[in-house]
């Protein structure tokens, strides 16, 4: 026995003796819990039932896909549950799965689980509960075939230039076939799904909390904490109080006016910044005052985006007058002006449209996005200055924002760039299968849908550039479904002892390699 080992043994023996003297049994120290104060929970933990900021935030720790995105190294596509892959034909790709990957229930993942995850009972069938969301994210996939225990083939309906990015993104997560079929009901599955991620679901109460516990058999290494508690604290003041009191290790959606308050706390600081997401507005084309596209264009031209960025975010994000982003690589055109700030043009368009100051409702959420209500108030004043009468309506939840019992006009939104391509935002959200046309039914446009199909299927870069430009012509001027404002920001306040790196996306990664926690 070495000297160091002897000292450790002696200390342990002394501690056990002291406990024995009290008559109490020796107990293991509880696993470290990381507590995250968030503004809300998803309604479902099944990826094919909800895609939202809060769903991604939680779900990233529960599920994994065949491929992943390396957010620390240029957004590269990297191996996930598959150790390798190769393209067999323009519409077929083959994957070799990692060996020995375990689900949260201890079962070994096989190709049958992968095929089932993309199969008719969960995703592709006419009555599959995940069909609608699957169409948005992985709709080009026609089938996934299990070749042998560790080999699967993914077959697409047509050529897809973004297949690898789709399989690294939302909707492509692999779940346990056995656990899905054994669930008492689909509702029970939604509350406690089984994936392969570093944490498994322990408790889920909508609008209250989501408690995850470490997946002991995680193939990526030992999770850095025993539990992660996502605790709902809707108001920023409540989240700040929890951080100050030590009841939360990290809190989300922190506004920049709170930076001084955070830094005044002992061992606390603010991290984060812009993410791959357009903060945007959506216009309901059915509203009487928004039928004419010139009114919708005027709404966008009346917005001084730089003033919003400078006043609310101290210039720490980027104003966007259209859905163009450097993440689009070869398709990015930084010279495109979009619907730039031009109040005179806005007034001219309103006059041409015959707008006479009739009220237009604008629904915003009370606390979902950073500085959301403040942004809405500034927008209303900017619109007033060009003669647009907007009725600001602050709502408590998204159900109230989408409610059709009263006329809808303008609403808040954000457009995540899920793939490094406009297909990952513009066509995904505003296209034929997107939520604006297919769910909320606020807008539709046949030429937009036809052009989107070219962007989604062509392998020719020049053709894709032309298609993207045409889509933006429709989005900006011909028939605007909404407008972009700026890159969405996500600032977090946290304890300095929590070594965690936020990614330029909504997801929060608490797995090995991105989190360590001090005493």
Bridging pattern class, strands 151-156 and 209-214: unpaired
The model carries a pTM of 0.83
- Residue 469's Cβ-count burial label (10 Å; 0-12, 13-18, 19+) is middle
Question: What are the two backbone dihedrals, phi and then psi, of residue 98, each rounded to the nearest 5 degrees?
Answer: -65, 145
Could you list the beta-strand ranges (E) of 331-462: 360-365, 390-395, 410-416
Q: How many CA atoms lie within 13 A of 412 on its CB side?
A: 30
Closest CA to 340 of 382, 375, 387, 304: 304
Beta sheet of 360-365, edge-to-edge order = 199-205, 209-214, 227-232, 33-38, 250-251, 482-495, 268-283, 410-416, 360-365, 390-395
Q: Indicate the burial class of 177 (C-beta count within 10 angstroms; 0-12, 13-18, 19 or more).
A: buried
User: What's the rounded Cα separation, in Å, for the pair 292 and 388?
Assistant: 14
Contact of 499 with 516, CB cutoff 8 Å: yes
Q: How far apart are CA 487 and CA 298, in angstroms?
A: 21
* pLDDT at res. 82: 98
Q: How far apart are CA 461 and CA 222, in angstroms?
A: 43
- Contact partners, residue 499, CB within 8 Å, separation at least 6: 515, 516, 517, 518
The tens digit of pLDDT for each residue in 158-212 reads: 999 999 999 999 999 999 999 999 999 999 999 999 999 999 999 999 999 999 9
- Report yes or no: 409 and 283 within 8 Å, Cβ to Cβ: yes
Angle, CA of 176, 179 and 185, to the nearest 5°:
125
At 104 the three-state DSSP class reads coil
CA distance 132 to 155: 19
Q: Give me the residues paired with residue 362 across strands.
A: 392, 410
Coil, helix or strand for 404? coil
Q: Tokens representing 99?
A: 């060996």
Most distant CA pair in the chain: distance in Å? 91
Q: What is the pLDDT of residue 28?
A: 44
Tokens 């994210």: give the residue.
Answer: 137
Q: Please state, in angstroms and rounded to a whole number, the distance separating the CA atoms of residues 431 and 425.
A: 10
Residues of the chain with pLDDT under 50: 1-29
Burial bucket for residue 371 (CB in 10 Å: 0-12, 13-18, 19+): buried
Could you tell me where the beta strands, DSSP code E, fall in 258-344?
268-283
Nearest to 490 by CA among 75, 36, 47: 36
Give the Cα separation of 90 and 71 in Å (integer). Answer: 27
């Amino acid at each position: 026995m070495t000297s160091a080992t002897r000292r450790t043994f002696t200390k342990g023996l002394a501690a056990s003796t002291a406990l024995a003297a009290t008559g109490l049994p020796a107990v293991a120290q509880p696993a470290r819990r990381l507590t995250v104060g968030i503004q809300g929970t998803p309604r479902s933990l099944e990826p094919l039932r909800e895609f939202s900021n809060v769903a991604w935030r939680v779900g990233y720790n529960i599920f994994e896909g065949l491929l992943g995105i390396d957010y620390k190294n240029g957004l590269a596509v990297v191996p996930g549950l598959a150790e390798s892959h190769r393209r067999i034909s323009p519409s077929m790709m083959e994957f070799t799965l990692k060996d020995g990957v375990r689900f949260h229930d201890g079962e070994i993942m096989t190709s049958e689980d992968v095929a089932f995850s993309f199969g008719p009972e969960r995703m592709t069938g006419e009555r599959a509960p995940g069909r609608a969301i699957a169409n948005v994210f992985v709709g080009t996939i026609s089938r996934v075939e299990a070749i042998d225990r560790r080999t699967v083939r993914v077959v697409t309906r047509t050529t897809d230039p973004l297949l690898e990015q789709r399989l690294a993104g939302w909707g492509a997560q692999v779940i346990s076939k056995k656990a899905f079929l054994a669930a008492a009901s689909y509702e029970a599955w939604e509350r406690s799904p089984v994936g392969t991620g570093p944490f498994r679901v322990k408790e889920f109460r909508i609008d209250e909390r989501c408690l995850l516990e470490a997946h002991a058999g995680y193939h990526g290494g030992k999770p850095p904490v025993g539990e992660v508690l996502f605790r709902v604290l809707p108001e920023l003041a409540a989240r700040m109080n929890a951080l100050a009191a030590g009841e939360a290790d990290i809190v989300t959606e922190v506004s920049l006016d709170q930076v001084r308050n955070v830094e005044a706390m002992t061992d606390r600081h603010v991290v984060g910044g812009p993410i791959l997401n357009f903060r945007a507005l959506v216009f309901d084309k059915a509203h009487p005052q928004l039928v004419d596209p010139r009114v919708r264009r005027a709404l966008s031209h009346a917005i001084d985006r730089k003033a919003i960025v400078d006043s609310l975010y101290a210039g720490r994000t980027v104003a966007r007058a259209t859905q163009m982003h450097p993440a689009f690589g070869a398709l990015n055109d930084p010279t495109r002006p979009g619907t730039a700030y031009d109040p005179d043009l806005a007034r001219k368009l309103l006059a041409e449209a015959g707008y006479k100051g009739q009220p237009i409702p604008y629904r915003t959420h009370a606390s979902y996005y950073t500085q959301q209500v403040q942004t809405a108030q500034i927008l209303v004043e900017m619109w007033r200055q060009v003669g647009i009468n907007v009725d600001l309506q602050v709502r408590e939840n998204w159900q109230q924002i989408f409610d059709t019992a009263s006329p809808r006009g303008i609403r808040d939104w954000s457009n995540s760039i899920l793939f490094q391509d406009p297909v990952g935002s513009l066509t995904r959200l505003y296209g034929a299968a997107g939520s604006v046309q297919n769910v909320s039914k606020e807008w539709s446009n046949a030429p937009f849908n036809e052009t989107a199909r070219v962007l989604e299927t062509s392998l020719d870069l020049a053709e894709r550039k032309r298609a993207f430009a045409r889509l933006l012509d429709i989005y900006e001027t011909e028939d605007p479904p909404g407008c972009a404002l700026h890159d969405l920001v996500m600032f977090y306040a946290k304890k300095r002892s929590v070594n965690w790196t936020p990614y330029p996306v909504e997801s929060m990664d608490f797995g090995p390699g991105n989190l360590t926690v001090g005493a």
